[in-house]
């Protein structure tokens, strides 16, 4: 049976309206085929997302002419501070500039805006089925609150059971950790982030909503041995390969779910050196794990434009980036019937790890990680019959 926890006191005066908006959001996710598990549905119905996004940013040209009176924007060269509980000090820390300066960047919506229409817009956005940019630094998106329907699919794909211990890589706003804590209990959830400002803000948001899982500042690639072993690891940031520390901190038969190559890979862990699994069918675009370097460049030279419009082909280009010529990838994709994400998988075997199509021992495999780091495990001519 799902573990339940009441949400914290909503001191911002919008509890009733927020509850109605949550109901609408859950109804929308269910209509789209998500939240088939009653325990996760209860979590989304009861955890107040707006307490985790006291402000967020909409991308656009925030000029004096276009912005509403008193609007603020975060400039492309600004620095976003901790996402705390709102107010003038938080606005100053966020590195914002007045819209009158005509800065091209992000328009800020926040819960303490003196204008009631903009406050209503903030609250409605907090319960839209859309990702929210919550932190921008030097023009780069640092952290965001993911699209709720994608979060729901990821949490259900995690296949948690009562009593499972879960490590989340990427604390973000703390909202995903709150959903996990609602389902499993505070003592079974650890969320980790490299940035102390992010973890401090997530901890504050969680406390405001009535949750107190472990919030740890540290390198996501190293995991969190303090609270290991884990039954599940879920990452909310993209990796180029699977960090070995994650496997080492898992119990046998644990599940790791992480974004990789614009997809979501679900790996079943055999032991500290072996894991294998397939990608989910759904696309997923996440910011890279901080400190891991930029993702490999995806070449497209020599390709016609039409295949590049197909998501399944772009996924193959990302999976094989740096290890296959684009024209070879196109030949493979067409020869194999334009495979979707669910036909691909990943195997970790000691120091080796590779992505594959259909069969880990089959004709097509590509090493994960930067080009040249590993030798290809296997690969026949992509155009071969």
Residues noted as catalytic: 146
| Residue 65: other Cβ atoms inside 10 A | 8
Query: Both tokens of residue 380?
Result: 């026949």
Give the end-to-end CA distance of the chain in Å, rounded to a whole number.
Answer: 51
Q: Count the Cβ atoms, other than its own, within 10 Å of residue 200.
A: 17
Neighbour order of strands in the sheet with 96-98: 96-98, 72-75, 104-110, 55-61, 132-137, 140-145
> Helices 175-184 and 196-208, interaxial angle, to 10°?
50
Q: Which residues pair with 288 in a beta bridge?
A: 238
Other Cβ atoms within 10 Å of 161 Cβ, number: 8
Structure tokens at 290: 């901080």
- Spatial CA neighbour of 180 closest among 368, 363, 22, 2: 2
Going by C-alpha positions, the residue among 188, 131, 179, 156 that lies closest to residue 266 is 156
Q: State the Cα torsion 28-33-37-38 to the nearest 10°.
A: 30
Q: Is the preceding peptide bond at 250 cis, omega within 30 degrees of 0?
A: no
CB 191 within 8 A of CB 235: no
């Amino acid at each position: 049976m799902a573990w339940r926890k009441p949400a914290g006191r909503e001191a911002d005066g919008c509890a009733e309206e927020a509850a109605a908006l949550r109901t609408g959001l859950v109804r929308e996710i269910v209509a789209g085929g998500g939240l088939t598990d009653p325990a996760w549905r209860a979590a989304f119905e009861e955890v107040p997302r707006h307490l985790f996004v006291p402000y967020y940013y909409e991308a656009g040209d925030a000029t004096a002419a276009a912005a509403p009176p008193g609007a603020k924007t975060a400039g492309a060269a600004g620095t976003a501070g901790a996402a705390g509980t709102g107010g003038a000090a938080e606005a100053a820390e966020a590195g914002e500039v007045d819209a009158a300066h005509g800065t091209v960047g992000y328009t800020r919506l926040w819960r303490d805006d003196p204008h009631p229409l903009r406050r209503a817009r903030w609250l409605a956005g907090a319960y839209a089925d859309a990702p929210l940019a919550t932190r921008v630094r030097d023009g780069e998106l640092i952290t965001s609150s993911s699209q709720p329907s994608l979060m729901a699919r990821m949490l259900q794909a995690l296949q948690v059971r009562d009593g499972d211990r879960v490590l989340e890589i990427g604390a973000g706003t703390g909202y995903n950790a709150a959903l996990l804590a609602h389902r499993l209990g505070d003592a079974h959830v650890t969320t980790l982030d490299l940035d102390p400002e992010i973890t401090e803000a997530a901890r504050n948001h969680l406390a405001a909503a009535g949750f107190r899982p472990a919030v740890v500042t540290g390198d996501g690639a190293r995991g969190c041995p303090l609270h290991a072993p884990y039954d599940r690891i879920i990452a909310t940031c993209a990796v180029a390969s699977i960090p070995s520390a994650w496997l080492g901190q898992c119990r046998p038969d644990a599940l790791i779910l992480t974004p990789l190559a614009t997809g979501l890979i679900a790996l079943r862990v055999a032991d500290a050196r072996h894991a294998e699994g397939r990608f989910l069918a759904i696309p997923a675009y996440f910011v890279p794990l901080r400190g891991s370097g930029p993702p490999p460049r995806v070449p497209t030279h020599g390709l016609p434009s039409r295949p590049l419009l197909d998501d399944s082909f772009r996924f193959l280009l990302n999976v094989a980036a740096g290890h296959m010529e684009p024209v070879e990838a196109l030949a493979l994709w067409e020869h194999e019937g334009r495979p979707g994400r669910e036909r691909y998988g990943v195997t970790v075997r000691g120091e080796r790890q590779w992505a594959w199509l259909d069969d880990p021992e089959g004709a097509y495999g590509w090493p994960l990680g930067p080009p040249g780091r590993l030798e290809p495990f296997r690969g026949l001519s992509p155009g071969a019959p």
